[in-house]
Amino acid sequence: MRIIAIAAVALGPILADCRAALAQPGPFAPAGAASPTPPFVLTQVNPAPAPPVVPAPSSDRPIGLPPVRNYEPIPELRDIYFDSGKETIRPDDVTILAANAAWLRAHPGHLLLIEGHSDNRGATDAKNESNMDLGERRAQAAMDQLVALGVHPSRITILSYGEERPQCTEASERCWSRNRRSRFLVKPP
């Protein structure tokens, strides 16, 4: 008995809707009855064409990064250098970044790639990962300064090489200091 009561309570609204739909005049209703609602018609639409198949990116280049071969160094844009383990821009390099920003503002069609680099030293087992992170923070610091100086951020891409592309390979402080840098390359319009 309980099951019938629960079923009646649950099905009551559904059955009431069916009764209301049946009470409306159909296509064969006598003259003078309310006009019927238009029938619901389903139509098949041709499916949209499938998007073209794009080949997977090559594994030699991270996804979403521009091909570096499209960018080139130019003498008008100078590198900046960093202290060991730091991504803080040094006072001498603020002047270099200001000159780089002035050139970029004067050439709005050029895109910029900032490479972040580090030396090959590190105290942890994950030295390479740490140096990659440091290179990225250096590139980001340079980008932030250029944006503050009026270069639109949509023109700038940053990329870290960490210790992978040293400018100098000697085991000396003079050499290591040359490797701790942000490098600026442009892609002409």
Domain boundaries defined on the chain = 71-187
pLDDT score for 78: 97
More confident residue, 102 or 47: 102
- Token reading at 148: 């503050």
List Cβ neighbours of 166 (8 Å cut-off, separation of 6 or more).
117, 119, 120, 175, 179
Which H/E stretch holds residue 117? strand 111-117
Give the integer Cα–Cα distance in Å for 115 and 145: 15
Residue pLDDT, tens place only, 87-129: 999 999 999 999 999 999 999 999 999 999 987 776 666 667 8
Q: Is the pLDDT of residue 5 over 50?
A: no
Residues 136-160 have a mean pLDDT of 96
Residue 185: CA count within 13 A, CB half-sphere: 18
What does the mean pLDDT of the chain come to? 77
Question: Could you tell me which CATH number the domain at 71-187 has?
Answer: 3.30.1330.60
Residues 169-184 have a mean pLDDT of 84
Reported pTM: 0.63
Q: Please say whether the beta carbons of 119 and 176 come within 8 A.
A: yes
Give the integer Cα–Cα distance in Å for 87 and 142: 9
- Burial class of residue 42 in the structure, from the number of CB atoms within 10 Å of its CB (0-12 exposed, 13-18 middle, 19+ buried): exposed
